[in-house]
Amino acid sequence: MNIIRVALGVPLPRLFDYLVTDYAESDIGHRVTVPFGSGFRTGVIVAVAHSSALLETKLKPATSILRDMPPLPADWLALCEFCARYYQAPLGEVMAFALPPMLRRGKLPRRPRATVVRESTSPPALPTLLPAQQAAVTALDACQKFQTFLLHGVTGSGKTEVYLRAIDTVLARGGQALMLVPEIALTPQLQGRVAARFPTAHVVAANSAVADAARARGFLDALEGRADIVLGTRLAVFIPLERLQIIIVDEEHDASFKQQDGLRYSARDVAIWRAHQRNIPIVLGSATPSLETFHHAGRGTGPGRYCMLELPQRAVAENLPVVRIIDTRREKLQDGMSAALLTALELRLARGEQSLVFLNRRGFAPVLACPSCGWISGCKRCASNLVVHLADRHLRCHHCGFETGIPRTCPDCGNLDLQPFGRGTQRLESVLAERLPDARVLRIDRDSASTPKKWQALLQQIHDGGADILVGTQMLAKGHDFPKLTLVGAVGADAALFAADFRAPERLFAQLMQVGGRSGRADLPGEVLIQTEYPQHPLYQALTTHDYNAFAITQLNEREVAAFPPFSFQALLRAEAREMQQSLDFLVTARSAAEPLAGERVALYDPVPMRMPRLMTLERGQLLVESANRPALQAFLAAWMERIYALKMPAGLRWHLDVDPLEF
Amino acid sequence: MAGDAPPSNLTQLSGRLLERDALRRTPAGIPVIEFLLTHTSVQTEADSERKVECEMACVAMGLAANVMTAVKPGDALRLTGFLAARSLKRRSPILHVNTVEFVEGNENGIQAEE
């Protein structure tokens, strides 16, 4: 019998056998179209065999093996297999995700347009490296085997320049480089910088904003060895590169590297595995590394599994910005802003410099309320409130996307005088415009920068000096370089201090340090003002001294006491159904199935409603499992999943497993 | 509530405008204005006459709010409306004005009704 084993993008943890008339070992990695159910599907051949567990008469013949592109290489298949194993996902689903949609559907993009011969303009003059940058570059250039590096550089320390030098070396050796960045928003600028630096290199952009055909072409360019540099968001970690010699993960702490639906993988962690598999160096760069990474890199106190490269100085600017904490306990705030912040804004305005007021909450106000009867604008579908968007007079759920007009009167009591409660970027924008009528106020959030085009236009406007005061969310926190920006004010940061999530302080610290790092990056000195009612909080104190290490070590000590990651490994089984009881019942059953498997090394917690118990009309519960030993957890999860797949599912119940969850 | 009669809540009060806030709008775009009225009159109480003075917090919405923007401090008005608590927490009443009449010195007095 000639049999191929095919990974199909269906939610079943198994491969499918098909008959073929002609086949060869070399067909492994080719896509194949096969009959499935009442239709056809395209999958990937992962093995060839002479016998099947099924009777030959039951096997169907494959429709056609698609040999129109080179087979997916063995290391790519192994990477997918690792993800399937580690994240407990069906291999076919992993591969369906890892392939660009067009290739997944069995199609090919029209053959590459005639290769663009770029004029070999001479690359721009290289900036002089600081000693620390030079040391980092030397260490990277010297490494040609697997090693994880943590490039820990303060904001504005020239991490990108180090990446570019390392890429340069790799290209000179005939290798390929893979660079992952957190958000689509950042890629166009970086792409421009990379293209300018390597005018003759073929740079492939890979992110979800790239059109279908272009994405497939980029994948093929990489697969067929034409690409020199792949630059993209988390999905780029799956792009095959035969001559791959270095992987760079910029802003490695960023939560967007972890996918929150479908295949819940961490691109950073997968990238480390890939570097290990290919025996090449990987660089994780950040001003505020994740605590996991910092821990593995020896906490700044000694050698660790990762090699720490530190850039303690800013590259262009003389100094880090001065960070001041503004105690708002005694002060009557004016529309949420302290007198000190308003004065500082006026001063920048008078000097013709730019300021940024950071508030990580978009919309006008987080809720519309009726002062007469207490009604608030809840979302019908979620356990959340509808946010007031005054710019287009809508109420909007930031969780499920539901939107409706602003009611004229209170739906409960008829009162006309409904009040927006709290403060979002839109409100801050209008308040600032009112208080500082001479200032050109520009709001930057996901509403004003709803498309990449609008986002680029806004960035251009900032660079051209077309704005004095920026009001923005975390969109502005990362990676941007605005030479005239000298003041950052953070308002409403306290809310995150007491969040239930144990990672909340880590995120808040990173966010404030990153956003503060936008100020004073060029020749003008920068200042950061943080408004708080808890001026003595160690998190804020560490910010004033730019002491990431002290903060991280305190946090790690707390985590160690509580046995939280990185001192334990976690997985979450989540379930959602019409009624909470159904979700919890399923989790109880799943827990019973887990008990005989858990042993002493895996702890099973109790099923509980999720922190956001209702989303899109579905009620959600979760079950946490934890172990101090990763292999033990992995072995347990594999055995547990088999039993869960065998459980009878009530109608309408959906579940998934999240390994190394970031959100609770 | 007294028997089957519908609960009544009708207030008529005349006086002069003491001060008013700037016109604002509800999130749905309806104009709102809050103001203070000083009332002075002579009333009969237990068969004797007495002087009465008070200040009344008022709010006007919609058309009545637009009318109120034309009123200057000291202008004499006759207001008709109903009383309601300021909010769930502050239970003291505020006069919700439905009708604003100018009662002196203005031959072309305007009257607004909703």
Mean pLDDT across chain A: 93
DSSP string for chain B: --TTSPP---EEEEEEEEEEPPPEE-TTS-EEEEEEEEEEEEEEETTEEEEEEEEEEEEEETHHHHHHTT--TT-EEEEEEEEEESSSS--SEEEEEEEEEE-SS-TT--EE--
Separation in Å, CA B94 to CA A411, A595, B90, B101: 21, 63, 10, 18
pLDDT band at B107 (very low <50, low <70, confident <90, very high): very low
Note whether B59 contacts A: Cβ–Cβ < 8 A: yes
Note whether A2 contacts B: Cβ–Cβ < 8 A: no
Separation in Å, CA A18 to CA A33, A55, A72, A321, B88: 10, 11, 19, 64, 70
In whole angstroms, give the CA distance from residue A347 to residue A324. Answer: 16
From chain B, pick out residues whose CB is under 8 angstroms from the CB of A418.
26-28
Q: How far is A588 from chain B (nearest CA, A)?
A: 42
In whole angstroms, give the CA distance from residue A297 to residue A152. Answer: 10
In whole angstroms, give the CA distance from residue A517 to residue A315. Answer: 13
Nearest to A365 by CA among A418, A410, A427, A408: A427
Residue B89 has pLDDT above 80, yes or no: yes
pLDDT band at A118 (very low <50, low <70, confident <90, very high): low
pLDDT band at A580 (very low <50, low <70, confident <90, very high): very high
The phi and psi torsions of A549 (rounded to 5 degrees) equal -60, -45
Q: Copy the structure tokens of residue A463.
A: 């660079």
DSSP string for A420-463: EES--HHHHHHHHHHH-TTS-EEEESTTTT-SHHHHHHHHHHHH
pLDDT band at B109 (very low <50, low <70, confident <90, very high): very low
Query: Which element (helix H / strand E) includes A244?
Result: strand A244-250
From chain B, pick out residues whose CB is under 8 angstroms from the CB of A408.
28, 30
* Over residues A337-352, mean pLDDT: 96
Of residues A9 and A112, more confidence is placed in A9
Question: Looking at the partner chain, which of B27, B28, B88 has a beta carbon nearest the beta carbon of A374?
Answer: B88
Give residue A115's pLDDT: 58
The CATH number fitting domain A322-364+423-559, selected from 3.40.640.10, 2.40.50.140, 3.40.50.300, 3.40.50.1820 = 3.40.50.300
- A368 close to A419: Cβ distance less than 8 angstroms: yes
Q: Can you name the CATH fold of A3-104?
A: GIY-YIG endonuclease (3.40.1440)
Tell if the CB–CB gap between B30 and A408 is shorter than 8 Å. Answer: yes
Sorted by where each begins, the domain ranges of chain B are 11-108
Tell if the CB–CB gap between B27 and A390 is shorter than 8 Å. Answer: yes
In whole angstroms, give the CA distance from residue A19 to residue A9. Answer: 19
Tens-place pLDDT, residues A35-93: 999 999 999 999 998 888 877 778 999 999 999 999 999 999 999 999 999 999 999 99
pLDDT band at A132 (very low <50, low <70, confident <90, very high): very high
As assigned by CATH, the class of the A131-311 domain is: alpha beta
Model ipTM value: 0.88
Which residues make beta-bridge pairs with A441?
A: A469
DSSP letter for A315, please.
S
The phi and psi torsions of A427 (rounded to 5 degrees) equal -70, -45
Sorted by where each begins, the domain ranges of chain A are 3-104, 131-311, 322-364+423-559, 569-659
Q: How many other C-beta atoms lie within 10 A of the C-beta of residue B57?
A: 13
Nearest to A659 by CA among A465, A647, A111, A640: A640
SS3 A159: helix
Note whether B54 contacts A: Cβ–Cβ < 8 A: no
Nearest to A232 by CA among A209, A210, A215, A207: A207
Question: Would residue A454 be called left, alpha or beta, if left means φ above 0 and alpha means ψ between -120 and 50 degrees?
Answer: alpha
Tens-place pLDDT, residues A448-467: 998 888 988 999 999 999 99
SS3 A654: strand
Q: Which residue of A has its CA nearest to B91?
A: A372
Residue A276 has pLDDT above 50, yes or no: yes
Question: Looking at the partner chain, which of B27, B85, B86 has a beta carbon nearest the beta carbon of A418?
Answer: B27
In whole angstroms, give the CA distance from residue A314 to residue A320. Answer: 7
From chain B, pick out residues whose CB is under 8 angstroms from the CB of A388.
27
Percent of chain A with pLDDT over 90: 83
Distance spanning both ends of chain B, measured CA to CA: 27
* Over residues B58-71, mean pLDDT: 96
In whole angstroms, give the CA distance from residue A207 to residue A195. Answer: 17
Question: Would residue A255 be called left, alpha or beta, if left means φ above 0 and alpha means ψ between -120 and 50 degrees?
Answer: alpha
Residues whose CB is less than 8 angstroms from the CB of residue A136 and which lie 6 or more positions away in sequence, other chains included = A151, A162, A309, A311
Residue B113 has pLDDT above 50, yes or no: no
pLDDT band at A185 (very low <50, low <70, confident <90, very high): low
pLDDT band at A117 (very low <50, low <70, confident <90, very high): low
Distance spanning both ends of chain A, measured CA to CA: 49
Note whether A367 contacts B: Cβ–Cβ < 8 A: no
Note whether B88 contacts A: Cβ–Cβ < 8 A: yes
* Over residues A475-503, mean pLDDT: 89
Residues whose CB is less than 8 angstroms from the CB of residue A45 and which lie 6 or more positions away in sequence, other chains included = A4, A5, A6, A27, A28, A29, A30, A31, A32, A65
Strand runs labelled E in A552-606: 569-577, 602-604
Residue with tokens 């369906």: A96
- A250 close to A288: Cβ distance less than 8 angstroms: no
Fold agreement between A3-104 and A322-364+423-559: no
The CATH number fitting domain A569-659, selected from 3.30.1130.10, 3.30.70.600, 3.40.50.300, 3.90.180.10 = 3.30.70.600
- A250 close to A52: Cβ distance less than 8 angstroms: no
Note whether B87 contacts A: Cβ–Cβ < 8 A: yes
Architecture of domain B11-108: Beta Barrel (2.40)
Residue A597 has pLDDT above 80, yes or no: yes
Q: How far is B63 from chain A (nearest CA, A)?
A: 13
From chain A, pick out residues whose CB is under 8 angstroms from the CB of B61.
416-417
- A403 close to A368: Cβ distance less than 8 angstroms: no
Give residue A120's pLDDT: 58
Give residue B2's pLDDT: 53
Tell if the CB–CB gap between A416 and B26 is shorter than 8 Å. Answer: yes
Residue B1 has pLDDT above 60, yes or no: no
* Over residues A531-537, mean pLDDT: 95
Tell if the CB–CB gap between A418 and B59 is shorter than 8 Å. Answer: no
Residues whose CB is less than 8 angstroms from the CB of residue A495 and which lie 6 or more positions away in sequence, other chains included = none
In whole angstroms, give the CA distance from residue A340 to residue A356. Answer: 14
- A451 close to A480: Cβ distance less than 8 angstroms: no
Note whether A372 contacts B: Cβ–Cβ < 8 A: yes
In whole angstroms, give the CA distance from residue B80 to residue B113. Answer: 10
Which residues make beta-bridge pairs with A139?
A: none
The phi and psi torsions of A154 (rounded to 5 degrees) equal -60, 165
From chain A, pick out residues whose CB is under 8 angstroms from the CB of B27.
364, 368, 388, 390, 393, 406, 418-420
Tell if the CB–CB gap between A393 and B28 is shorter than 8 Å. Answer: yes
Q: How many other C-beta atoms lie within 10 A of the C-beta of residue A318?
A: 10
**Chain centroid to CA A190:** 17
In whole angstroms, give the CA distance from residue A373 to residue A412. Answer: 8
